[in-house]
């Protein structure tokens, strides 16, 4: 008996600590529990919460809760832009000038009215901070505030779709007075002189339904209801984003009621949940997707740069198999996904035809196949991972004789190589800031992505000139039907022999306690989750 | 720095005879040894900074791309601003010089991923790691010492064989495997321990005084919060405690077996002292030196080696902070974290070296 005394002592201590912990939990929860929403999520790579600096997934959720934008989408109807801080707007015929009239009722959490100067200052700061999302403001030539209620944004070149850019949370409007008092500036050297990001991670200066109360990096973010919200829609008094690192732990915490909501659970965890009455699942294909790229530069890979070879690869891929790699993955039918206006429909989808692919390779003088290399990231932040898809592509191409060596690297190393245009083929995880068909511009000749694959106006290949002309027209087209059709035709055309293949969307899913209401309406591809739309029974 | 477990010679009659005449010389040697370590410490730290600096600069990845992302790095103005802000547009030697200059002025730099001062972030994370390290050390001692003593006292018994199996498993199992297993079984399946994190989401953290949350909660008169922190501490502390406890059990058993064969034990038995007294007082005192040495090593390793356990169990300490930073190529944070761990490791072992003299003055001879 004496031998086990020490072990018993340890066990007693541990159980005592555990038991007492549980008691304290129930004792302190009280009434505040029902008015508090705990959102369990991996906070590993999240923050800072400065809307002009953050550009990762969860930033969209926090931005939407604490800030407002000029315009918004109506739920998941991405064809329609609706008022937010701006009650009305016009787009000039030159497709370069956007004029917004602010809603006079809009106020910040301080009670101060939102003015055109706040908007001008915010957009200028976004650009001059030179942070991760600053590229979004790159096309802006100027922002002016001719009167307190009017904002005029002028672009460097025509782009009617830019109106939708103002939906993005990075274009959130900050209270200039509060932000500047805490170190923010819109000066040209803001990248060096602005010191507000730290403050804006533990506080906020917006007009949204919530305010940031505290932030413990990688651990916990607390938001509280904005008592002076100009649109008092929030139900919960407090929102806690709590770090729960793994999907297994998130699910266990959800089942035990330790958290109310979680996200991004994988296939094996999500499927059994659908039959559980105490829990609910909602979500949609996200604005993040997998793309396959092929070089157009003969010096990088003379075989891959041939038209017949790129057409053969389009025929060699097993698109349906790719769509079945994981639950919630939505197969693409072209470079514009189906849920975006102008998206390529299922009936237009490319079909796998191995014989045709082999014929095309033979026509290219490569009946014995050839060796090539595919760069990708080894990141496992998404399910399926890019490596999963790369292996599927490798297997499909092997069937037609193309021997692919996968060069998987840590994400930053992969991006460095990809951006240096050193990849023959690439399988990348990508995505735009807002759902509009114009997102394919970077993939067309001279676009940032296209240049990495050697596709430019100097090397347009057999199809580049046509796509460039169509894109130029689409960017200035104010007739929405015509605009959308132009983008659609480009995407559908690239299905034949373009250097890009849209493979699938990464699913974005939420699981929540069944007593949380409004989850279906609160999820969308832009802000991911509108917390203010959630209630508890 | 202590780099191996010191096992003293058995305290037989011969050793006792040589103790007095050599004492003065040994003390001087001990002092010189410690002085030498203190003098070499800055050079050691300088070497660490140089190594970390070179590793961070020769990675096959661009920190600007890691920070700005695939889209953001298309903005050349942003890339230039980033490189200027972190001095990456300057020659390598100049970058290192600036880094050292700032370091000497107490500036650990600004985190690339959070835009916050690294010193502030480490100051917030370090007490959590300290809290976990102390708890894990206690658990490992509570497991390892009694097991080692009992196994040595009952050699070849079932308990001895079970202890052997436990120590073999403990020393050979990677911490992340045990952490994942413990998370699956103790938290996910059985629900015996609290989940990831340091505090229940519904409890407000106590006002920060020391940063060690149990202490702060007690100082603030919030025992319920302190207990909840303890509850959350159980999982990572037990995982780390089992792994290091296995080492303790193995070392204590081995040293105790030697001690129980010693002349002084035979003499004690001959004098009719009770077995419990012989084992617990005479033989265990002999095992104390290697145990103390191992405590120093373990404490240092708990700072450096808790990265995977903190990451898996969501404990917001230095290990998890460094893991997050490394995955985002946040080299100012990684370099500062490494330096902190290095300093902690060196200082802990220095303290342990000083304690040798207190535990057994004869050990001074070994230095």
Q: What is the 3-state secondary structure (H, E, C) of B316-347?
A: CCHHHHHHHHHHCCCHHHHHHHHHHHHHHHHH
Does the beta carbon of B83 lie under 8 angstroms from any beta carbon of chain A?
no
What is the reported pLDDT for A267? 58
Nearest CA in chain B to A240: B201
Candidate from A15, A21, A416 with C-beta closest to B227: A21
Contact A275, A404 (CB under 8 A): no
Distance (Å, whole) CA A141 – CA A147 = 19
Rounded to the nearest angstrom, the minimum Cα separation between A69 and chain B is 20
Q: What is the mean pLDDT of residues A103-130?
A: 97
Residues of A in contact with B61 (CB under 8 A): 410, 412-413, 415-416
CB contact under 8 A, B194 and A21: yes
Our CA angle for A522, A524, A528, nearest 5°, is 85
Rounded to the nearest angstrom, the minimum Cα separation between B206 and chain A is 13
Residue B360, pLDDT > 70, answer no
- Output the CA–CA distances (angstroms, integers) from residue B191 to A12, A18, A243, B26, in the order listed: 16, 10, 18, 54
Tell me the per-residue pLDDT of A440-490, one tens digit each, with 9 for 90 and over. Answer: 999 999 999 999 999 999 999 999 999 999 999 999 998 989 999 999 999
Q: How confident is the model at residue B34 (pLDDT cuts 50, 70, 90)?
A: confident
Our CA angle for B118, A57, A227, nearest 5°, is 85
Contact A10, B139 (CB under 8 A): yes
- What CATH code would you report for A7-283+510-536? 3.40.190.10
With a CB-CB cutoff of 8 Å, which residues 49-78 of chain A face chain B? 50, 53, 55
Nearest CA in chain A to B116: A198
Does the beta carbon of B320 lie under 8 angstroms from any beta carbon of chain A?
yes
Q: How confident is the model at residue B17 (pLDDT cuts 50, 70, 90)?
A: very low
Closest among A469, A461, A498 to A486, alpha carbons compared? A469
List the domains of chain B with CATH numbers: 44-107 (no CATH), 121-366 (1.10.3720.10)
Q: How confident is the model at residue B40 (pLDDT cuts 50, 70, 90)?
A: confident
Closest among B154, B140, B143, B141 to B276, alpha carbons compared? B154
Mean pLDDT of all residues in chain A? Answer: 88
Tell me the per-residue pLDDT of B230-256, one tens digit each, with 9 for 90 and over. Answer: 999 999 999 999 989 998 898 888 888
Distance (Å, whole) CA B281 – CA B289 = 14
Selected residue of B67, B70, B237 to mutate for chain A interface (largest A Cβ count, 10 A): B70
Question: Between these two residues, A421 and B280, which has the higher pLDDT value?
Answer: A421
Using CA atoms of A297, A302, A306, A310 in order, give the dihedral in degrees to the nearest 10: -80
Residue A11, pLDDT > 60, answer no
Q: What is the 3-state secondary structure (H, E, C) of A276-312?
A: CCCEEEEEEEEEEEEEEEECCCCCCCCCCCCHHHHHH
Q: How confident is the model at residue A118 (pLDDT cuts 50, 70, 90)?
A: very high
CB contact under 8 A, B231 and A244: no
Rounded to the nearest angstrom, the minimum Cα separation between B184 and chain A is 8
With a CB-CB cutoff of 8 Å, which residues 180-199 of chain A face chain B? 191-192, 197-198
For chain B, what's the residue count?
A: 367
What is the reported pLDDT for A13? 46
Does the beta carbon of A376 lie under 8 angstroms from any beta carbon of chain B?
no
Does the beta carbon of B123 lie under 8 angstroms from any beta carbon of chain A?
no
- Residue spans of alpha helices (H) in A399-459: 411-419, 448-452
What is the reported pLDDT for B29? 66
Beta partners for residue A438, in sequence order = none
Rounded to the nearest angstrom, the minimum Cα separation between B242 and chain A is 12
Distance (Å, whole) CA A43 – CA A64 = 18
pTM: 0.80
Distance (Å, whole) CA A218 – CA A209 = 24
Contact A332, A502 (CB under 8 A): yes
Helix (H) or strand (E) holding B250: helix B223-260
What is the reported pLDDT for A14? 44
Does the beta carbon of B314 lie under 8 angstroms from any beta carbon of chain A?
yes
For residue A383, give the DSSP letter.
Answer: S
CB contact under 8 A, B195 and A419: no
- Output the CA–CA distances (angstroms, integers) from residue A298 to A301, A461, B61, in the order listed: 5, 11, 26
User: For domain A289-505, which architecture applies?
Assistant: Roll (3.10)
For residue B8, give the DSSP letter.
Answer: P
What is the reported pLDDT for A30? 55
CB contact under 8 A, B183 and A15: no
Q: How confident is the model at residue B269 (pLDDT cuts 50, 70, 90)?
A: confident
R_g over Cα of chain B? 24
Residue B46 contacts by C-beta under 8 Å, 6 or more apart in sequence? none
What is the reported pLDDT for B357? 66
What is the reported pLDDT for A266? 61
Backbone phi, then psi, for A319, in 5-degree steps?
-65, -40
What is the reported pLDDT for B21? 42
What is the reported pLDDT for B183? 86
CB contact under 8 A, B61 and A256: no
Candidate from B80, B139, B314 with C-beta closest to A243: B314
Most confident of A66-75, A505-514, B302-311: A66-75
Mean pLDDT of all residues in chain B? Answer: 81
CB contact under 8 A, B193 and A36: no
Chains A, B: CB contacts within 8 A come to 212
End-to-end CA distance of chain B: 11
Residues of B in contact with A24 (CB under 8 A): 200, 203, 224-225, 227-228
With a CB-CB cutoff of 8 Å, which residues 461-500 of chain A face chain B? none
Tokens describing residue A36: 């508090």
Q: How confident is the model at residue B6 (pLDDT cuts 50, 70, 90)?
A: very low
Residues of A in contact with B198 (CB under 8 A): 219
For residue A413, give the DSSP letter.
Answer: H
Residue labelled with tokens 């140089």: B50
Tell me the per-residue pLDDT of B103-133, one tens digit each, with 9 for 90 and over. Answer: 888 888 888 877 788 998 888 888 999 999 9
Rounded to the nearest angstrom, the minimum Cα separation between B188 and chain A is 6
Distance (Å, whole) CA A247 – CA A253 = 10
Q: Where along chain A do its domains lie?
A: 7-283+510-536, 289-505
Tokens describing residue B357: 């003299």
Selected residue of A24, A410, A439 to mutate for chain B interface (largest B Cβ count, 10 A): A24
What is the reported pLDDT for A426? 97
Tokens describing residue B92: 């390598």
End-to-end CA distance of chain A: 53
Q: How confident is the model at residue A269 (pLDDT cuts 50, 70, 90)?
A: low
Distance (Å, whole) CA A394 – CA A443 = 23
Nearest CA in chain A to B117: A198
Residues of B in contact with A45 (CB under 8 A): 113, 324, 327-328
What is the reported pLDDT for A286? 74
Q: How confident is the model at residue B289 (pLDDT cuts 50, 70, 90)?
A: confident
Selected residue of A30, A190, A249 to mutate for chain B interface (largest B Cβ count, 10 A): A249
Candidate from A219, A220, A258 with C-beta closest to B195: A258
CB contact under 8 A, B61 and A410: yes
Rounded to the nearest angstrom, the minimum Cα separation between B104 and chain A is 23
Residue A86, pLDDT > 60, answer yes
Asked which of A113-122, A363-372, A374-383, B215-224 is least confident by mean pLDDT, the reply is: A374-383
């Amino acid at each position: 008996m004496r031998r086990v005394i020490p072990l018993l002592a340890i066990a007693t201590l541990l159980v005592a600590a555990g038991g007492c912990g549980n008691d304290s939990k129930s004792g302190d929860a009280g009434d505040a529990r029902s008015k508090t929403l705990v959102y369990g999520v991996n906070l590993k790579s999240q923050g800072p919460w400065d809307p002009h600096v953050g550009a990762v997934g969860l930033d969209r959720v926090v931005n939407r809760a604490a800030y407002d934008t000029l315009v918004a989408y109506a739920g998941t109807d991405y064809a329609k832009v609706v008022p937010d801080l701006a009650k009305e707007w016009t787009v000039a015929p030159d497709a370069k000038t956007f004029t917004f009239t602010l809603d006079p009722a809009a106020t910040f959490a301080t009670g101060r009215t939102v003015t055109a100067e706040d908007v001008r200052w915010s957009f200028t700061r976004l650009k001059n901070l030179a942070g991760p999302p600053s590229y979004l403001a790159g096309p802006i030539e100027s922002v002016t505030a001719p009167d307190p209620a009017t904002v005029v944004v002028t672009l460097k070149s025509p782009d009617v779709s830019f109106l939708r850019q103002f939906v993005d949370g990075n274009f959130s409007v900050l209270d200039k007075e509060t932000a500047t008092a805490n170190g923010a500036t819109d000066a040209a050297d803001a990248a060096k002189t602005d010191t507000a990001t730290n403050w804006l991670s533990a506080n906020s200066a917006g007009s949204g339904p919530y305010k940031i109360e505290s932030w413990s990096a990688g651990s916990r973010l607390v938001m509280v209801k904005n008592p002076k919200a100009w649109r008092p829609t929030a139900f919960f008094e407090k929102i806690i984003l709590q770090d729960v690192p793994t999907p297994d732990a998130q699910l266990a915490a959800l089942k035990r009621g330790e958290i109310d909501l979680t996200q991004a659970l994988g296939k094996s965890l999500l499927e059994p949940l659908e039959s559980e009455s105490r829990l609910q699942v909602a979500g949609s294909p996200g604005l993040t997707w997998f793309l396959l790229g092929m070089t157009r530069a003969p010096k990088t890979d003379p075989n891959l740069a041939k038209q017949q070879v790129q057409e053969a690869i389009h025929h060699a891929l097993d698109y349906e198999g790719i769509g079945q790699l994981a639950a919630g993955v939505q197969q693409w039918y072209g470079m514009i996904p189906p849920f975006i206006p102008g998206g390529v429909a299922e009936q237009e989808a490319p079909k796998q035809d191995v014989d045709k692919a082999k014929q095309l390779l033979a026509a290219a003088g490569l009946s014995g196949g050839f060796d090539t290399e595919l760069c990708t990231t080894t990141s496992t932040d998404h399910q399926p991972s890019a490596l999963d898809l790369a292996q599927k592509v490798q297997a499909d191409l092997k069937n037609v004789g193309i021997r692919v060596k996968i060069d998987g690297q840590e994400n930053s190393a992969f991006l460095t190589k990809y951006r240096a245009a050193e990849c023959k083929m690439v399988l990348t995880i990508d995505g735009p800031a807002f759902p509009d068909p114009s997102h394919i511009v970077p993939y067309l000749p001279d676009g940032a992505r296209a240049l990495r694959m050697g596709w430019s106006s100097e090397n347009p290949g057999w199809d580049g000139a046509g796509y460039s002309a169509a894109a130029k027209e689409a960017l200035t087209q104010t007739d929405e039907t015509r605009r959308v059709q132009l983008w659609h035709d480009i995407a559908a055309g690239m299905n034949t022999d373009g250097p890009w293949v849209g493979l699938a969307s990464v699913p974005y899913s939420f699981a929540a306690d069944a007593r949380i209401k409004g989850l279906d309406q609160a999820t969308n591809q832009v802000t991911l989750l509108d917390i203010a739309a959630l209630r508890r029974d | 720095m202590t780099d191996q477990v010191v096992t003293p010679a058995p305290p037989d009659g011969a050793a006792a005879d040589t103790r007095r005449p050599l004492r003065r010389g040994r003390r001087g040697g001990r002092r010189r040894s410690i002085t030498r370590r203190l003098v070499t410490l800055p050079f050691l730290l300088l070497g660490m900074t140089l190594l970390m600096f070179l590793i961070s600069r020769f990675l096959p990845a661009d920190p600007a791309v890691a920070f700005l992302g695939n889209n953001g790095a298309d903005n050349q103005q942003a890339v230039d601003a980033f490189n200027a802000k972190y001095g990456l547009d300057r020659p390598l030697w100049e970058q290192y010089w600036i880094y050292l200059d700032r370091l000497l002025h107490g500036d650990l730099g600004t985190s690339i991923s959070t835009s916050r001062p690294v010193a502030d972030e480490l100051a917030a994370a370090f007490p959590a790691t300290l809290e976990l390290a102390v708890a894990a050390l206690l658990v490992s001692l509570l497991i390892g010492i009694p097991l080692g003593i009992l196994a040595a006292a009952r050699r070849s018994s079932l308990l001895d064989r079970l202890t052997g199996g436990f120590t073999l498993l403990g020393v050979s199992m990677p911490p992340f495997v045990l952490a994942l297993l413990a998370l699956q079984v103790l938290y996910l399946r059985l629900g015996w321990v609290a989940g990831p994190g340091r505090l229940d989401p519904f409890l407000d953290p106590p006002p920060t005084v020391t940063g060690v949350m149990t202490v702060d909660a007690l100082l603030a008169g919030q025992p319920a919060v302190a207990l909840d922190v303890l509850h959350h501490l159980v999982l990572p502390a037990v995982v780390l405690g089992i792994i290091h406890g296995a080492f303790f059990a193995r070392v204590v058993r081995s040293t105790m077996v030697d001690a129980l064969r010693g002349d002084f034990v035979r003499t004690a038995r001959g004098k009719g002292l009770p077995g419990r007294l012989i084992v617990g007082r005479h033989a265990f005192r002999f095992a104390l030196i290697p145990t103390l040495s191992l405590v120093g090593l373990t404490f240092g390793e708990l700072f450096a080696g808790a990265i995977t356990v903190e990451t898996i169990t969501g404990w917001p300490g230095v290990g998890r902070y460094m893991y997050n930073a490394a995955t985002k190529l946040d080299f100012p944070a990684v370099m500062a974290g490494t330096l902190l761990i290095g300093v902690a490791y060196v200082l802990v072992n220095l303290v342990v070296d000083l304690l040798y003299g207190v535990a057994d003055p004869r050990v001074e001879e070994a230095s």
